[in-house]
Amino acid sequence: MGYFLNRNKFSLWSFHPLRTVILVFFVSLTFLQSLSAQPITLQAGRMKSLKRNGKTIQWLKENVRFEQSGSNVYCDEAEYDPQTQDLLGRGNIRITNPDGAIVTGKTLEYNNATHTAKVIGNVKLIDGTMELSTPWIEYNTQTKVGWYGAGGSIIDKETTLTAKSGSYNPNKKTLFFKNNVVLTTPEYTVKTDTLQYRTDTKRAQFFAQTQLDYQTKIVVFQRGFYLTDEQKGEFYGQVALFDQGKTVVCDTLFFDKITQVGLAHGHVFIQDSVDQWKVWGKHAHYNGLAKSVKVWNQALAFQGEAKDPFKLKADTLAYNSDSAQPVALTATYHVAFSQDNTSGKCNKLTSKRSDSTFYFSGDPVLYDSLSRVSGDSIEMRVVAQKVKELKAFKHGFVAIQEDSIHYSQIQGDSIHQWMDRDQKIEKVRVVGNAQSIYYLRNADTLESANLVTCKSMKIGFDKGKINQITFYEKPVGTLYPIDQLPAVDSKLKGFVWDMQNKPSEELFLPPHTVTIPELPYPKGEKTKKKGKKSK
């Protein structure tokens, strides 16, 4: 038996229960002039009209389906109120859209006026390789945007993401997550408060303090992005990289996981607890595979114990912790250093790992409290952070202050000097074109000056003062009483005394205070902690 009513009444087509074809009917909502929604098209295997609370409700069962704005909605059973445009669906809920995204669940609450569908109960949203699981999700069939707020997890191949709330926009292929966000892949784990992820470009964007955990590395930052396929990222805002005893702190970090290369900018600080290095600068290049770091633009480095470290300043500083590499450290341009009472400057400094020796070139000059050493190149051997030997090659020159106006001087083709434990000269060996002016004392009074020229010489010191000297191969010398020493003979050619140019302690002051962030998510914890300062 059939009925057909027009205009302000609904259409109804009754059917025999055994009918197997799908029955189609249209519910026209033109009588609701205040609503702009288009008519909804419903399909079902069985249907009937029910009276409830003074309203006429459409009841549908078996292969229930309707389409709206290009999306198709399926369920086992549904009730539809044409007056409020609310539809309640139950059992095997499934929503599909032309882009291929599918939402499934147990219960559906849909409103045709707002195009909003809420799916409840073991909800899954699948788009290609991406699958979202959550207790409930709301989905707009017109914009194709879905969101949830009761916690959920997303799996995309080997990538898993969990968060308290999130949304998905298939048109923009964009996922947005908030609160207790954890992104896990076979290579790394990300923990943050706010994250946006593009499924097409595999780009993760961070908007809050974030911790990125690798197998042996951890990166902490305030904001930035990471390309999950390329494994490259840019991070900003008090960035910290922790890598097996090494810490890099900066304002901006560009990092490539595959090559393990990082580029840091702004307030750079590097701490190497293995080799006892602390380094400051404005820019740095970090290579994890090569175990090397290069810092430039006003680079400053400390090595060794906190009480008396070896201090080094240069335009550019590069060092590595690879024991297989012969060169451990290189500093270039405007180099200055300080260690205990010894300091110096040059244009290039190189340190070789095999012999604990520093090599200086480019107008090198070394100072202690009473002496000055120069040459075309200088070698300095350090043992237990103490200078043990100095070698000056080609135009080597040593000047030693005796009093306010007199200076003992030694020069030759090469000069080799040994230091005592107090960092004072203990003995000197000069080879090739040796010349010297040295002063003889009576107690603490200078009595005479001896000028000697020979092939080679050996000089012994006591508490930094000359106490014996041996000359080799045809020495020629002149002895003057101190008051008869001609002024022209008191200085050897090449003599320079410029203690005012000795690197000062102020030169080695750290350029900025460093706060090393503590891990905001240590061992899976969600609580945030304050950072600690590095001195």
Whether 432 shows a pLDDT value over 90: the answer reads yes
Tokens, residue 179 = 């609160």
Q: How far apart are alpha carbons 502 and 178 in whole angstroms?
A: 57
From the CB of residue 255, how many other CB atoms can be counted at a distance below 10 Å? 27
Q: What is the pLDDT of residues 161-200, one digit of tens each?
A: 899 999 888 888 888 899 999 988 888 888 999 999 888 8
Q: What is the pLDDT of residues 464-507, one digit of tens each?
A: 677 888 899 889 999 999 999 999 999 999 899 999 999 999 99
From the CB of residue 503, how many other CB atoms can be counted at a distance below 10 Å? 18
User: What average pLDDT does the chain have?
Assistant: 83
Tokens, residue 316 = 């550019």
pLDDT confidence bin for 518, thresholds 50/70/90: confident
Tokens, residue 308 = 């008396």
**Of residues 104 and 154, which shows the higher confidence score?**
104
**Of residues 37 and 459, which shows the higher confidence score?**
459
Whether 1 shows a pLDDT value over 60: the answer reads no
Can you give the pLDDT at residue 114?
86
Q: What is the pLDDT of residues 275-307, one digit of tens each?
A: 788 999 999 998 988 888 899 998 999 988 777
Tokens, residue 532 = 């600690």
Q: DSSP class of residue 12? A: B
Whether 43 shows a pLDDT value over 80: the answer reads yes
Q: Pairing relation of β-strands 365-367 and 310-320?
A: unpaired
Can you give the pLDDT at residue 534?
56
Q: Which of 222, 151, 224 is nearest to 182 (CA)?
A: 151
Q: Which of 407, 482, 467 is nearest to 437 (CA)?
A: 407
Whether 239 shows a pLDDT value over 90: the answer reads yes
Can you give the pLDDT at residue 36?
34
Q: How far apart are alpha carbons 149 and 505 in whole angstroms?
A: 58
Can you give the pLDDT at residue 7?
25
| Distance from the Cα of residue 474 to its chain's centroid | 64
Give me the numbers of helices (H) and strands (E) for the chain, helices first please.
0, 39
Q: How far apart are alpha carbons 370 and 502 in whole angstroms?
A: 12
Q: How far apart are alpha carbons 467 and 462 in whole angstroms?
A: 6
pTM for the predicted model, two decimal places: 0.75
Q: Pairing relation of β-strands 277-287 and 189-198?
A: unpaired
Three-state SS sequence of 376-398: CEEEEEEECCEEEEEEEEEEEEE
Comparing 23-37, 201-215, 274-288, the range with the smallest average pLDDT is 23-37
- Specify the amino acid at residue 340: D
Tokens, residue 350 = 């190189």
Can you give the pLDDT at residue 39?
61
Can you give the pLDDT at residue 29?
20
Q: What is the pLDDT of residues 66-109, one digit of tens each?
A: 887 678 889 999 999 988 889 999 999 998 888 788 889 999 99
Residue 353, judged by CB atoms within 10 A of its CB (0-12, 13-18, 19+), counts as: middle
Q: Which DSSP string do the residues of 283-330 spell out, in sequence order?
A: EEEEETTTTEEEEEEEEEEEES-SSS-EEEEEEEEEEE--TT-SEEEE
**Of residues 335 and 111, which shows the higher confidence score?**
335
Tokens, residue 219 = 């990166």
Say whether 144 sits in a helix, a strand or coil.
coil
Q: What is the pLDDT of residues 334-361, one digit of tens each?
A: 999 998 778 999 999 998 877 778 899 9
pLDDT confidence bin for 309, thresholds 50/70/90: confident
Whether 6 shows a pLDDT value over 70: the answer reads no
Q: What is the pLDDT of residues 365-420, one digit of tens each?
A: 999 888 899 999 999 888 877 788 889 998 999 999 998 899 999 999 999 989 88
The share of the chain scoring above pLDDT 70, in percent, equals: 90
Whether 308 shows a pLDDT value over 90: the answer reads no
Contact status, residue 113 vs residue 92, Cβ threshold 8 Å: no
**Of residues 428 and 525, which shows the higher confidence score?**
428
pLDDT confidence bin for 5, thresholds 50/70/90: very low
CA distances from 507 to 282, 344, 368, 371 (A): 16, 12, 16, 20
Comparing 4-8, 145-149, 323-327, the range with the smallest average pLDDT is 4-8
Can you give the pLDDT at residue 75?
93
**Of residues 296 and 129, which shows the higher confidence score?**
296
From the CB of residue 24, how many other CB atoms can be counted at a distance below 10 Å? 11
**Of residues 260 and 299, which shows the higher confidence score?**
299
The H-or-E segment that residue 367 falls in is strand 365-367
Whether 27 shows a pLDDT value over 50: the answer reads no
Residues 6+ apart with CB under 8 A from 341: 368, 369, 423
Q: What residue ranges define each of the domains in the chain, with the CATH number in brackets?
A: 1-147 (2.60.450.10)
Can you give the pLDDT at residue 431?
94
